[in-house]
Amino acid sequence: MSVQDTAGEEPHENARQEVIAVDADDAEQGLVNRLEAHTGDGIRHRAFTALVFDNDDNILLAQRSPEKRLWDTHWDGTVASHPVQGQSQEDATRARLDDELGIAPSQYTDLRVTDKFEYKRYYPHEGVEHEVCAVLKCTLDDTTLDPDEAEVAGLMWVPYERLYENPKWYRQLRLCPWFEIAMRRDFD
């Protein structure tokens, strides 16, 4: 797929954005077009996934909007995205939590990076994720949410350990691959 207009079509929204290309050690290699980073064989780039918990160790799962290009309607470990150049993983996470779920920084005090891993997964006929993904976690003291329906199709609180220990119970959820990897690494 080209990021250029074809036959007068408007380019995909992602074609107007950039992500940070990185090496296997997460060292910056420059900026690349976001759509190009997610098509063909992909370009390794920086990303994050945020796992949000309540005080009872339930994780907030968010179903990705059907409008998402990749992993649409799959369930994610709360939010995931890409920091922009010069933005820390924590600042990028704070912004996505607010934008997607209406979660303000005053609702949590313990946002922290807990892990980082590289993965590559293809989404049939649509694209690829090739990311060095930071995992961030926080616990909400105030679980008030105001989700953006353009980003989030559904929400549910799930006991985190039970989700991990009983994959058959949750198979129908179709979890995002980066969330499954992050969860597995938490318990392995």
Residues that are catalytic: 131
DSSP string covering 145-169, please?
Answer: ----TTTEEEEEEEEHHHHHH-HHH
d(CA 164, CA 160): 6
Rounded Cα distance, 54 and 40, in Å: 38
Distance CA 34, CA 57 (A): 34
Can you tell me the distance from the alpha carbon of 84 to that of 55, in angstroms, rounded to the nearest whole number?
31
